[in-house]
Structure 1
Amino acid sequence: MGNLLGSWRFKEPSTVEECDSTWGSDSESDELLLLAAEDDSGISDSVSPPESDRAPGEPGDSSPQLTDSPESLPKMKRSFYAARDLYKYRHSYPNYKRSRQPNEYRNLRFYLNKIPLVPDGIFVEEILSKWRGDYDKLEHNHTYIQWLFPLREQGLNFYAYELTQDEIKEFQSTREAKRRFLAAYSLMLDFYGIKLLDKSGNVARAPNWQERFQHLNESQHNYLRITRILKSLGELGYEAFKAPLVRLFLEESLFHNTLPNMQHSVLEYYVYTMRLPATRRRLLRYARQHYRPAHAFLWGPPPKRRGGGVGVGTGAGSSGIRAPAPTPEPQRREQESNTSPIIVSSHDTVMCQDLVRAGLKGCTGSMARVEGGLMLGGARGLRSEYNEVVPL
């Protein structure tokens, strides 16, 4: 038994629903009232699946524009690529392997101004003091972002180093590094037309917001950078800074319509960098009020939370796959009595050509298919224990 547990590997989710626990732990009393109000407004829960599962503004985006007629809607569903990526992030990379380089605290030393970023040979103080307001440089240089906002995953700059748990702890206890990190965050916000208001992370439009928002709406590779910035904030101790920024992007993209090209990136990626389900719910409730067409909103509670029925079709937050009809009771009991004690699951991971279409380099082939078998009792116990420790 010890060998089985020692070699156990966390089973990755294979559907969007398994990746998203946003509504699964919702016990807030206003939820039913909200859903009742939405139902009275005539919002439809029926949404068909799409031909592409990419969100606009993220890799491989080819989503057509929605219309106000349900009959003319293109087939839409949530991106499994996005859901799985953010699931791994929120759960601290459960299948995380040691980084490819020795742990030399390169990210911390960079923020202490002791080593330059590679390959450009630029020190962090030069970036913070000379690059602010140099929007052409910030736009066209593609190597600094991985150093300014490190993660525990490899980015496009293969000279940058992944964070480790030990380095994160050391970084969070180093005042000089944290001061520069917040300065780097303020630098990027200014680039996007936003200003940091206080030490709580509140943000607002900067004086030059119109010019910068117009650029941000058209320069969609920055949406990937923003995802990285949000993740890095959470890794380095600034989780509370994320919600104010995401709320601003929701307001601008859905309500003010100043960043219309960003709206699906906000909903597919930015909201799901929030580690607390309650924070995600608050943001999604706001988004649902202003999303148009309303019947195409994909990020609400799953269908079972709305109608109480089983197998009634698809709805907000579903993957677009129709649920099977209920199994008759005698047949169900017979199936349960003959259930095998082994669970075997597999899913195809993201194909690299999706990344190539988005202009990402360094991909040499498809990722391996994940397959494995776990003892039913042991798997349930470990998963339950994991979920209790990190209920995200």
Structure 2
Amino acid sequence: MGNLLGHWRFREPSTVEECDSTWGSDSESDEPAGEEDSGISESVSPAESEWAAAEDDGDLPHQLTDSPESPPKMKRSFYAARDLYKYRHCYPNYKKSRQPNEFLNLRFYLNKIPLVPDGIYIEEILTGWRGDYDKLEHNHTYIQWLFPLREQGLNFYAHELTQDEIKEFQSTREAKRRFLAAYSLMLDFYGIKLLNKSGNVARSSNWQERFYHLNESQHNYLRITRILKSLGELGYEAFKAPLVRLFLEESLHHNTLPNMQHSILEYFVYTIRLPATRRRLLRYARQHYRPAHAFLWGPPPKRSRFKGGDDGASVGAGSSGIRAPAPTPEPQRRGEMSFISTSACSGSLVSSHDAIVCRDVSVERLNRYTGVGSSMDSLQGTLIMIAEGNNYTEVVPM
């Protein structure tokens, strides 16, 4: 048995449904052990209660369901679904890239080393950059250091986290204090204030100016995806849902951030590890999404329930109703990092979030490796994989 397990290899999901367990079960058995809930109240409004009951009974209002006259729906991004699947499952099959005793991210947060290549210490950023919105907008090297992940970003001088470094970071009070200060700094940049240590957030006093900028400056959506991922890596999983809920309210209900809608639903929601929390957020989103028939992220109106045995596969997310296989177990990180396909950029229907990833990676990496300027418009929107040694780097948010 030991030998069999030793040779077991992670099989990457091949469909959006396989990547998304949000609606696969009404139980919480698929939630990661040790994770805390989001802090969002379990209470729901009467409208939400009626919607949930209708959803379970397959009796949604006729005008909100698909009809033969409805236009064809866009598809969900497989690139986004797979990227967030890997994140939620702790990067299965991802190769450890550094020795655990380096802890460069932790040393940066302890103010012992500066970020590279700018040579800036974190205390300078935390004390001198707050309110300097031009600097925060136009500098593109600091975000990977402030919000590290176990994956490579566009700043190739930044270092991925390791599991040992994460444990050490979470037990270091000074590092955690500065991390929350960095989070508050970025929230202020986006027109949001951190209310308390539970992660609750609200509009700041200058929210109108900052929301207007955020709605137009869509590369910041890549940064927000990274921030949310980093919160989960460093012990602040509960901080994600209040921020995502605020973005949903602003984009769908108040219409202050309409350009952010797709990024919230394709990326931000799916950084959250607890399926129950994702379900609550998506139910809220579906109430306010227009046109209602185009909502891609909920379960089909009628869901088949299978109980027990090998036939217990569940219906996946999205509106296709395709039955997905049972959830793949979460293996230990092992083996080589898989080569990532370029499907996010090869199709004709690509989200603005994916397009920005492809464009920025193309230009950034061409500049770094070939010296070609960013004026090569014909290459924008094309995903380029750069070989470093025998490994390939993967497209990730900022």
TM-score by length of 2: 0.73
Cα deviation digits, residues 153-173 of structure 1 (max 9, x gap):
000000000000000000000
The letter of the residue matching 2:19 is C
Deviation, 1:96, is 1.7
2:61 — aligned with what? 40
Task: Select which of 217, 225, 228 maps to 2:226.
Answer: 228
1:155 aligns with 2:175: no
Secondary structure of 1:25's counterpart equals coil
Matches of residues 199-348 of structure 1 in structure 2 within 5 Å?
A: 199-302=197-300, 305=303, 317-318=317-318, 320=320
The letter of the residue matching 2:263 is S
Counterpart-to-counterpart distance in 2, 1:235 and 1:322: 32
The letter of the residue matching 1:358 is R
| Structure number with larger C-alpha Rg | 1
2:341 — aligned with what? 349
Deviation, 1:179, is 0.2
Cα deviation digits, residues 53-90 of structure 1 (max 9, x gap):
xxxxxxxxxxxxxxxxx54x364011111110000111
Secondary structure of 2:60's counterpart equals helix
2:166 — aligned with what? 168
Secondary structure of 1:358's counterpart equals helix
CA gap of 1:351–1:366, structure 2 versus 1, over 3 A, is: farther
CA gap of 1:351–1:287, structure 2 versus 1, over 3 A, is: closer
Say if 2:250 and 2:257, in contact at 8 Å, map to a contact too: yes
2:9 — aligned with what? 9
CA gap of 1:38–1:199, structure 2 versus 1, over 3 A, is: farther
Counterpart-to-counterpart distance in 1, 2:85 and 2:102: 28
Counterpart-to-counterpart distance in 2, 1:230 and 1:102: 24
CA gap of 1:158–1:218, structure 2 versus 1, over 3 A, is: same
Deviation, 1:9, is 1.4
CA gap of 1:103–1:302, structure 2 versus 1, over 3 A, is: farther
Deviation, 1:26, is 1.2
Counterpart-to-counterpart distance in 1, 2:286 and 2:266: 13
Matches of residues 73-222 of structure 1 in structure 2 within 5 Å?
A: 73=71, 75-100=73-98, 103-222=101-220
Q: Which has the higher contact order (CA 8 A, sep 6+)?
A: 2
Deviation, 1:317, is 4.0
CA gap of 1:206–1:255, structure 2 versus 1, over 3 A, is: same
Secondary structure of 2:202's counterpart equals strand
Deviation, 1:319, is 6.8
The letter of the residue matching 1:108 is L
Say if 1:297 and 1:316, in contact at 8 Å, map to a contact too: no
Say if 1:76 and 1:320, in contact at 8 Å, map to a contact too: no
TM-score by length of 1: 0.74
The letter of the residue matching 1:184 is A
Deviation, 1:349, is 2.2
1:66 — aligned with what? none
CA gap of 1:15–1:352, structure 2 versus 1, over 3 A, is: closer
Cα deviation digits, residues 229-259 of structure 1 (max 9, x gap):
0000000000000000000000000000000
The letter of the residue matching 1:152 is R
Say if 1:45 and 1:316, in contact at 8 Å, map to a contact too: no
Counterpart-to-counterpart distance in 1, 2:165 and 2:67: 47
Say if 1:303 and 1:316, in contact at 8 Å, map to a contact too: no
CA gap of 1:306–1:358, structure 2 versus 1, over 3 A, is: farther
Secondary structure of 1:42's counterpart equals helix
CA gap of 1:74–1:352, structure 2 versus 1, over 3 A, is: closer
Stretch deviating more after TM superposition (196-205 or 7-16): 7-16
1:23 aligns with 2:23: yes
CA gap of 1:289–1:347, structure 2 versus 1, over 3 A, is: farther
The letter of the residue matching 2:341 is T
Q: Deviation above 3 Å: which 4+ runs of structure 1?
A: 1-4, 27-32, 100-103, 315-323, 351-357, 363-367
Counterpart-to-counterpart distance in 2, 1:287 and 1:26: 18
2:394 — aligned with what? none
Cα deviation digits, residues 185-224 of structure 1 (max 9, x gap):
0000000000000010000000000000000000000000
Unpaired runs of at least 5, structure 1: 48-69, 309-314, 324-345, 368-392
CA gap of 1:45–1:348, structure 2 versus 1, over 3 A, is: farther
Say if 2:59 and 2:301, in contact at 8 Å, map to a contact too: no
Say if 1:218 and 1:261, in contact at 8 Å, map to a contact too: yes
2:360 — aligned with what? 359
Deviation, 1:6, is 1.3
Say if 1:299 and 1:316, in contact at 8 Å, map to a contact too: no
Counterpart-to-counterpart distance in 1, 2:229 and 2:253: 25
CA gap of 1:17–1:303, structure 2 versus 1, over 3 A, is: farther
